[in-house]
Amino acid sequence: MLNKRRFIQGLFTLVSAIICVLIGLALGFIILVVFSWSSYSSKGVPYTVGQVFSTAWEQGFKRILLGGFYNLGWKIPTRSLLLRSEICRIAPLLMCGLSVGFAFKTGLFNIGAAGQYTLGAYGALMCALILKLPWWACLLASVLFGAVWGAIPGFFKAYFNINEVITSIMFNWIGLYGVNTLMYGNGKSVMYNANESKVWKLVNKNASAIIPDMKGDGSTLFNKVFTNPSTIAVFIAIAVAIVLYVVLNKTVFGYELKACGYSKTAAKYAGINEKRNIILAMAIAGALAGLGAGLFYLTGTEQWNPQENTALPAMGFDGISVALLASSNPIGTIFSAIFKAHIATGGPKMEKTLFPSEIADVISGTIIYLCAFMLLFKNKLAARVFRRSRKPEGEIKK
């Protein structure tokens, strides 16, 4: 009976997630068609509906769908940098998704993943560029920095009962401005490379801080795909997802965290220290987001730009869509992170003079909006299915 219930609920979750994705993609395609049509009409030359659609497909939508496979067609990937950078994006997305999802499971909305990610990036890069530590130590630092930044809103929630959403948002901005100040240091920071107006590349300053890849002798397909910037980071992230799944579902700690999440008052009644659990849950969520930043910036694929980063890292907010799409299930998050990385890689490959790459963001924004209420439909639907098999109870439900 357990299996049947779980199976059906899982199925509904999956189906509703797929529906959200399909509606989001359909909307994206419609926007592409509109852009394609308006570009044709402004040229003032005769055109057909077929041309409008084929441009929207060939120069736009197909490239989103192809993602990292864009310049490969559907052929077997060989040494595509694009594909490797798509894989490189999966790890941070997955970690931010896990961060938000883990907090959801414990009844908290961690909108602060962006700030924790920022702090994680600082922790990792500071250890790499200033302290010259090896990659694993830098990763630990990113975990630590993220955890602290997550724990603070948890502390305010537990002891002052301030909504974690508000504090997390404030700490996002405080973290961003703080980290940028430290990394830039009026242009005099050790971490700042004035020539490129970015933080130094790891290769130039401390190559040991780069997360190892699986290049090997480069002979097999596996070796080719997992060559830097695609590193073992994605495997670390997947391992973390599995550990989280076990912790949440099989352990006493997970039982307590979820009890707090479902009902703070009932958890308190049962003698669970709900204040400690809130802080702990936010610290873990922060650690996950921080690790995400470490797993991204320690691949060396991109450098932090403390002068241009006036907006919060999108990764933290993408984590929200990744988590929602997966209904906060750690295993599901792996797949939603892959999906998100895929369309985010595809978006900028659209023909720039025709289609803004942000259409990919519109798609994922739409998906979160739909997810916000699709899950409720799913629950209602599931409840209806189960009610049919319900035995009479003799009493009327109050």
Partner 1 sequence: MDDYVIEMLHITKTFPGIRANDDVTLQLKRGEIHALLGENGAGKSTLMSVLFGLYQPDSGEIRKDGKTVHIKDPNDANALHIGMVHQHFKLVDVFSVLDNIILGAETTKYGLLKKDEARRKVMELSQRYGLMVDPDALVEDISVGMQQRVEILKMLYRDNDILILDEPTAVLTPQEIDELMEIMRGFAREGKSILFITHKLNEIMAVSDRCSVLRKGKYIGTVETKDTTKEELSRMMVGRDVSFTVDKAPCKPGDTVLSVQGLTVPSKLHSNNAVKGVSFDVHAGEIVCLAGIEGNGQSDLVLALTGLEKASAGKIEFCGKDITHSPIRKRALAGMSHIPEDRHKHGLVLDYSLENNMSLQRYFEPEFESLGFIKQKKVHSYAEKLISEYDVRSAEGPYTIARAMSGGNQQKAIVGRELDRRTKLLVAVQPTRGLDVGAIESIHKEIIAARDAGTAVLLMSLELEEVMSLSDRILVMYEGEIVGEFDPQKVTVQELGLYMAGAARQDISAASDAAARGGIANA
Partner 2 sequence: MIALALKFTLLYGMVLMLVALGGMFSERSGIINIALEGIMVIGALIGVIITRELQGYAGFVQVSVSVLCAGLAGLAYAFLLAFASINLKADQTIGGTALNILATAIAMVIAKRVNSVGGKLSDSARLKYSYDAFVYKIFGVTVNVFLFIGIALLIISYIVLYKTKLGLRLRACGEHPQAANSVGVNVLGMRYTGVLISGFLGGIGGFAYILPSIDTWDFKNGIAGMGFLALAVMIFGQWHPIKIFLAAMFFSIFKSLANIADSVSFLAKLRWPKEIYNMMPFIASIVVLTLTSGKSRAPKAEGIPYEKGQR
Which residue number, 22 or 266, has a Cβ lying nearer to partner 1? Answer: 266
**Residues 320 and 111 sit within 8 Å (Cβ to Cβ):** yes
The size of the interface with partner 2 (CB under 8 A), counted in residues, is 53
267 binds partner 1 (CB under 8 A): yes
For residue 221, the partner it binds in partner 1, partner 2, none, with Cβ less than 5 to 8 A by kind, is none
Which residue number, 8 or 169, has a Cβ lying nearer to partner 1? Answer: 8
d(CA 202, CA 301): 9
Q: Which of 1, 2, 3, 43 binds partner 2 (CB under 8 A)?
A: 43
d(CA 87, CA 82): 9
Tokens representing residue 375 in the block: 């899950």
2 binds partner 1 (CB under 8 A): yes
Which residue number, 77 or 306, has a Cβ lying nearer to partner 2? Answer: 306
d(CA 144, CA 116): 10
**Distance of closest approach, residue 311 Cβ to partner 2, in angstroms:** 5
Q: Is 246 exposed, middle or buried (0-12, 13-18, 19+ CB in 10 A)?
A: exposed
Tokens representing residue 99 in the block: 């961060």
Give the binding range for partner 2 (CB under 8 A) out of 70-78, 163-171, 199-207, 228-236. 163-171
Residue 298: helix, strand or coil by DSSP?
coil
Tokens representing residue 259 in the block: 């009890």
368 binds partner 2 (CB under 8 A): yes
255 binds partner 1 (CB under 8 A): yes
364 binds partner 2 (CB under 8 A): yes
- Integer angstrom CA distances of residue 291 from 121, 188, 222, 239, 337: 8, 27, 24, 13, 15
Q: Which of 47, 177, 255, 335 binds partner 2 (CB under 8 A)?
A: 177
78 binds partner 1 (CB under 8 A): no
**Residues 111 and 168 sit within 8 Å (Cβ to Cβ):** yes
259 binds partner 1 (CB under 8 A): yes
**Residues 296 and 199 sit within 8 Å (Cβ to Cβ):** no
**Of the candidates 218, 200, 205, which has an alpha carbon nearest to the alpha carbon of residue 84?**
218
8 binds partner 1 (CB under 8 A): no
231 binds partner 2 (CB under 8 A): no
d(CA 348, CA 357): 5
**Distance of closest approach, residue 281 Cβ to partner 1, in angstroms:** 16
Which residue number, 206 or 345, has a Cβ lying nearer to partner 2? Answer: 345
**Of the candidates 30, 66, 36, which has an alpha carbon nearest to the alpha carbon of residue 51?**
36
Q: Which of 83, 103, 125, 371 binds partner 2 (CB under 8 A)?
A: 371
d(CA 319, CA 348): 19
For residue 250, the partner it binds in partner 2, partner 1, none, with Cβ less than 5 to 8 A by kind, is partner 1
Amino acid at 122: Y
In which residue are the tokens 């709900």 written?
274
Give the binding range for partner 1 (CB under 8 A) out of 64-72, 77-85, 250-258, 328-336. 250-258
252 binds partner 1 (CB under 8 A): yes
Q: What is the DSSP letter of 397?
A: -
Q: Which of 109, 222, 253, 377 binds partner 1 (CB under 8 A)?
A: 253
Amino acid at 20: C
Give the binding range for partner 2 (CB under 8 A) out of 32-40, 210-218, 247-255, 275-283. 32-40
For residue 273, the partner it binds in partner 1, partner 2, none, with Cβ less than 5 to 8 A by kind, is partner 1
Binders of partner 1 in range 356-385 (CB under 8 A): 383-384
What DSSP element (H or E) covers 198?
strand 198-199
**Residues 22 and 343 sit within 8 Å (Cβ to Cβ):** no
d(CA 121, CA 149): 12
Contacting residues toward partner 1, per CB under 8 A: 1-2, 5, 250-253, 255, 258-259, 262-263, 265-273, 383-384, 386-387, 389-391, 393-398
Contacting residues toward partner 2, per CB under 8 A: 31, 35, 38-40, 42-43, 109, 111, 156, 160-162, 165-167, 169-174, 177-178, 180-181, 184, 186, 310-311, 317, 320-321, 324, 352-356, 358-359, 361-362, 364-366, 368-369, 371-373, 376-377
